[in-house]
Amino acid sequence: MIDVIIPATNKKEVDKVVSHFIALGDFFGKIIIVDFDKSSPSLTQKQVEAFNQKISLSYIFVTEQTYFNKSIAINIGYEYVTNEHVLICDADVLLDKTFFELAFEVWSTNRDTRCVFSPEYVIESDNGEIRKGPGICLLKSSHYKKVAGYSSEYIGWGMEDVDFLQRLEYIGVAPQKIAHAIHLSHSDEVRTRNYHCDSVSQMRMENRQLFSKKHEVKNQYGTLFDDVKHVSREVCLC
């Protein structure tokens, strides 16, 4: 089965995303939502309680952080993973059912296959534009741990997903593109409002520079163990 990690802050689309996972069937063991804003959560307590009637859902608040950091959210979420496979999914993405069917077809043929699945493309819900989706990753939980998860050295928006996929390749876990997903479209303002900077291009440039520096020496490890040790969080007891 698959445990799902959804990093989120001020994302009302989470309700649609969780409902979509439940509707897809019995692929999932647990959904783990990691939220950075307890004052304005992406799901209300009532919603969490309702979802827990249908699926095991853990809701974690990261505390004492000024800005949202996607890598920290994902790494904290991994602490609650118990199943063999883990899906990293953005809080505003709906994956097609064939994504999971094709992935398990590969694993059922050879359960030792070393790969990480991402959608071949993502469709914008408002205009049908097609783009890449490196932020959606389905892989074995053991492979996530082997590269020490995501790197929270990436500040703001961009490149943490590309960095993660590159480090997986260093240990022989190959990317495979399958099926597609729908992105629930929003403005750049929504994308940047929880970061230290309101310029997507500026954050992307700085993170690309960091990526180049890290991979000149083929840095293999993320910050999973440091984040789990040092980042404060609370579990919603719903």
**Domains of the chain in sequence order:** 2-235 (3.90.550.10)
**In this structure, which long-range contacts are made by residues 191-195, counting pairs with CB atoms below 8 Å and at least 24 apart in sequence?**
191/157, 192/156, 192/157, 193/10, 194/9, 194/10, 194/36, 194/37, 194/67, 194/68, 195/67, 195/68, 195/155, 195/156, 195/157
CB atoms within 10 A of CB 205: 12
pLDDT of residue 66: 81
**In whole angstroms, what is the distance from residue 149 CA to residue 164 CA?**
7
Average pLDDT, 10 consecutive residues per value, the chain (238 residues): 95 95 96 94 94 96 90 98 98 96 94 94 90 89 98 88 97 96 72 56 84 91 98 86
pLDDT of residue 228: 97
**In whole angstroms, what is the distance from residue 140 CA to residue 162 CA?**
18
pTM: 0.92
Q: Calculate the CA dihedral of residues 147, 153, 157, 159 and round it to 10 degrees.
A: -40
pLDDT of residue 111: 84
pLDDT of residue 198: 58
pLDDT of residue 205: 85
**In whole angstroms, what is the distance from residue 133 CA to residue 181 CA?**
8
